[in-house]
Structure formats: structure tokens, C-alpha cells
Amino acid sequence: MNNAEFHFERNRTFKPSPTSWVAPTLRPNFLCVVSDQEVAELRDALNRGDPPEDFASKLDQLSGEDLSRRLIEQNCRLFVALLQAAKERRFREVSVAECERLIRVLAYVRKDDDCIPDYSPRGFSDDQQEIRAAVTELAPTLQRFKAWRLRHQVPQLWHVHEPARVRLFKVA
């Protein structure tokens, strides 16, 4: 692992009994290696309508690999779809802070030479950890987006790709 600086978030869980405090869990935050410029570049590209070519290519590559890498790819595509729907003001149930969090995570995944370089044997474990953390933190928003997408986007896809109807009986 690089000598990258880690920021730790503390999660404390309290139980009803005052003596049963659970120790905080520490999770390294790898997002500190993403520069504001990298975030701005990705935001600008997404505002133009599509992810940058290098990032789209990386997602295509991840889709053909093992299940953990496919999970990264699918969640990144979900994040991009949510951000595009929010930008177009079609999905309004996401905050600016949540959008910024998703863009930062996407910028981290886009980066090949991050805390654990992607070309190393366990190179995507840090990317997977950041994806999982974002999915956990933003679970309610992501669930609302998935439900919104099923109500609004999927029916439109069915109408566009609806096959021609075959008549089995002659209508008199």
C-alpha cells in the first residue's frame, strides 16, 4: 500500500444499557487521494452527458471480469445514471452533498494509480471498499432512485423496444 494519508471515520453504536458500549469501527477513507481537479474534470464530463472515454473503457473492462469487479462496474453505472437524472432535474430526491460524494467515489474508481494501484494483484479492493461505503451511506437515496427508475424509465424502454404484435386469429 502507498504511504497515503488515511482519514478515519468513527461509527459508535450505543445499546440500551449504559455499560454496553460497542467500540468504534474504523474505516480508511481512500478518497483523500482524489484531487479537486480530478473531481471537477469528472463533473464537467458528466455534465456534458457521458463519462470520459477512459472511465467508460475501464467500466467496460470491469464488466467482463470477476464478480467483485462487476459489482464495482454496476454500482458506478448506477451512480452515473443517478447523477445524470439529478442534473436533468428528473430525479430530485438527492442532495448536492450526496451528488458530490458520488462524483468523488467515481473519480477514485477512475484513477488507476490510487492507494492500491489497479494494476496490482489486489488493486481493486480499495475501489470496492469505497463503493461499498457509498452504497451503505446512501442506501435510502439509491433505493428511491431505483424505484423512481423502475416507475419512469423502464416503461419507456419497453415502449421503444416493443416487438410487433403477432395476430394469432383473424379478426372479422
pTM for this one? 0.74
Distance in angstroms between the alpha carbons of the first and the last residue of the chain = 75
Q: Is 41 exposed, middle or buried (0-12, 13-18, 19+ CB in 10 A)?
A: middle
Tens-binned pLDDT, residue by residue, of the chain (172 aa): 444 433 333 343 333 434 444 444 445 578 888 999 999 999 999 999 888 999 999 999 999 878 999 999 999 999 999 999 999 999 999 999 999 999 999 999 999 988 999 999 899 999 999 999 999 999 999 999 999 998 887 656 555 555 555 555 555 5
Q: 109 near 72, Cβ under 8 Å?
A: yes
